[in-house]
């Protein structure tokens, strides 16, 4: 691991990655490789998670291609020095902000979106001019193998290299003095990443998770809300960091919502979703058993059927959930289970959500503009999506990241470029004039002039 870091640092210090022409060429090679190897990547995603070709393209390959296209289109603008105003006291001078790459970046990706959450931050890092070490999750081995072959075919190891292995490998990497670390995963592991990075004073970006609330008030379009919430909860079988984790629903529309949610599930996945081969399966037996345990003793209003042979679980609605004692309200679910908690007023909603750790996403379904603005202003979350779920991730100009226990830092689009860049402040002083006011001795008239400039 030390040799990998040293080799990449030497390559970075050579200046090879800094020219815009080099960065653009790297992004174009990645773009071409993604298109050429789409079939192999799709097959790998199916082998690891049972994803259908359509879902693999929509949620992984297509989004990566979109990120590459966005970076290629805006790279010159993002990387250009930006002039800022200078105070009169600094006359004559010019001030600007110059983005520069950190150096060697470590990117640690998770298993749930093994392609997207590996390549999306990689695209930002390469656009910013960094070298990268990319560590894959061992729970998505087929995708890791395919990505390793793809990246090694287009990039030399001193520029981009990949690493597999388990927890011991991750700990070895985190002990090294990388220039920046980008981690996507659980809050518990995120704490360990931050602790390890602190030993070397390495800046970190943490993309974590949490229990993202979905709020449906009495003015919401219930059929549309049910369909879009079902989409967000069944995407990747709920194994999404921004999946709706629990549903706060106005008591007056709860029963109608249940009916429409059931119809939406049938329309997308058929009468027996657990037997649908296009429905993503749970990643492992351990996670499957964990989800089974979350249903124990709960009031199941919809779904609940499981297929242990294929590790598929029907989308499940739970009613009369006790927030204080129900296991599904104590941890991020990361599966197709949706607990419902009815409310009668927005005061209850605000108090409930604000009493818990800040979520990565908040979903608000309403037709009342005042309710929408009230909830946006009163609930702190990484991002907000109004009258839909998940889709804010697909807007490259919106920063994506958490707040509090759901993460720190953000990426996507120019925000990702900035995450992997140091904003270096540069002041250029001209020599044709040297005002004497700052030099000793500070006489009364000099002090008067200084006070005028610095008032």
Residue ranges with strand state E in 14-167: 82-84, 93-101, 104-108, 131-135, 160-163
Query: Rounded distance, CA 401 to CA 260, Å?
Result: 31
Residues linked to residue 362 through DSSP beta bridges, in sequence order: 384
Cβ–Cβ under 8 Å, residues 162 and 147: yes
The catalytically annotated residue of 207, 314, 332, 372 is 207
Per-residue b or e along 305-344, where b marks 16 or more CB atoms closer than 10 Å to that residue's CB = ebbeebbbbbbbbbbebeeeebebbeebbbbbbbbbbbbe
Residue with tokens 């075919």: 153
Query: Rounded distance, CA 412 to CA 398, Å?
Result: 7
- To the query of whether residue 241 is one of the catalytic residues in this protein, the response is yes
Cβ–Cβ under 8 Å, residues 155 and 26: yes
Helices 20-36 and 116-128, interaxial angle, to 10°? 160
Pairing of strands 383-386, 337-343: unpaired
- To the query of whether residue 207 is one of the catalytic residues in this protein, the response is yes
Cβ–Cβ under 8 Å, residues 131 and 104: yes
The catalytically annotated residue of 59, 214, 241, 328 is 241
Full strand arrangement of the beta sheet holding 213-216: 299-302, 316-319, 337-343, 246-250, 213-216, 361-365, 383-386
Pairing of strands 383-386, 400-401: unpaired
Residues linked to residue 337 through DSSP beta bridges, in sequence order: 316
Contacts of 281 (CB under 8 A, 6+ apart): 49, 50, 237, 310, 311, 312
Cβ–Cβ under 8 Å, residues 166 and 138: yes
Active site residues: 207, 241
């Amino acid at each position: 691991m030390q040799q990998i870091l040293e080799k990449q640092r030497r390559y970075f210090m050579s200046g090879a990655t800094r020219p815009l022409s080099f960065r653009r060429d790297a992004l174009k090679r990645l773009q071409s490789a993604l298109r050429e190897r789409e079939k192999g990547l799709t097959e790998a995603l199916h082998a690891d998670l049972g994803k259908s070709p359509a879902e693999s393209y929509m949620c992984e390959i297509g989004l990566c291609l979109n990120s590459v296209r966005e970076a290629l289109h805006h790279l010159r603008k993002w990387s250009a020095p930006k002039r800022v105003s200078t105070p009169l006291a600094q006359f004559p001078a010019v001030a600007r902000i110059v983005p520069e790459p950190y150096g060697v970046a470590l990117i640690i990706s998770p298993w749930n979106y093994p392609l997207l959450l590996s390549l999306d931050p990689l695209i930002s890092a390469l656009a910013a001019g960094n070298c990268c070490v990319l560590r894959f999750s061992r729970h998505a081995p087929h995708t890791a193998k395919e990505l390793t072959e793809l990246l090694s075919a287009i990039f030399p190891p001193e520029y981009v290299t990949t690493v597999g292995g388990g927890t011991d490998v991750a700990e070895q990497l985190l002990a090294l003095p990388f220039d920046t670390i980008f981690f996507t995963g659980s809050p518990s592991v995120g704490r360990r990443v931050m602790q390890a990075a602190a030993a070397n004073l390495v800046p970190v970006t943490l993309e974590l998770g949490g229990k993202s609330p979905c709020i449906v008030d009495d003015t919401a379009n219930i059929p549309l809300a049910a369909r879009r919430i079902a989409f967000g909860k069944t995407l990747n079988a709920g194994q999404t960091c921004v999946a709706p984790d629990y549903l706060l629903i106005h008591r007056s529309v709860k029963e109608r919502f249940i009916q429409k949610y059931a119809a939406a599930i049938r329309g997308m996945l058929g009468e027996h979703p657990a037997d649908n081969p296009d429905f993503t399966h749970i990643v492992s037996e351990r996670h499957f058993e964990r989800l089974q345990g979350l249903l124990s003793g709960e009031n199941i209003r919809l779904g609940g059927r499981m297929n242990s042979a294929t590790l598929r679980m029907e989308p499940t609605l739970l009613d009369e959930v006790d927030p204080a004692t129900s296991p599904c309200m104590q941890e991020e679910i990361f599966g197709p289970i949706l607990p419902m908690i009815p409310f009668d007023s927005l005061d209850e909603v605000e108090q409930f959500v604000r009493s818990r750790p800040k979520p990565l996403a908040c979903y608000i379904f309403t037709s009342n503009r005042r309710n929408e603005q009230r909830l946006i202003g009163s609930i702190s979350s990484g991002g907000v999506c109004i009258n839909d779920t998940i889709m804010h991730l697909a807007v490259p100009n919106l920063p994506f990241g958490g707040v509090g226990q759901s993460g720190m830092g953000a990426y996507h689009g120019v925000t990702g470029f900035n995450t992997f860049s140091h904003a270096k402040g540069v002041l250029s002083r001209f020599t044709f004039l040297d005002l004497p006011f700052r030099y000793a001795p500070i006489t009364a008239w000099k002090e008067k002039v200084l006070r005028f400039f610095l008032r």
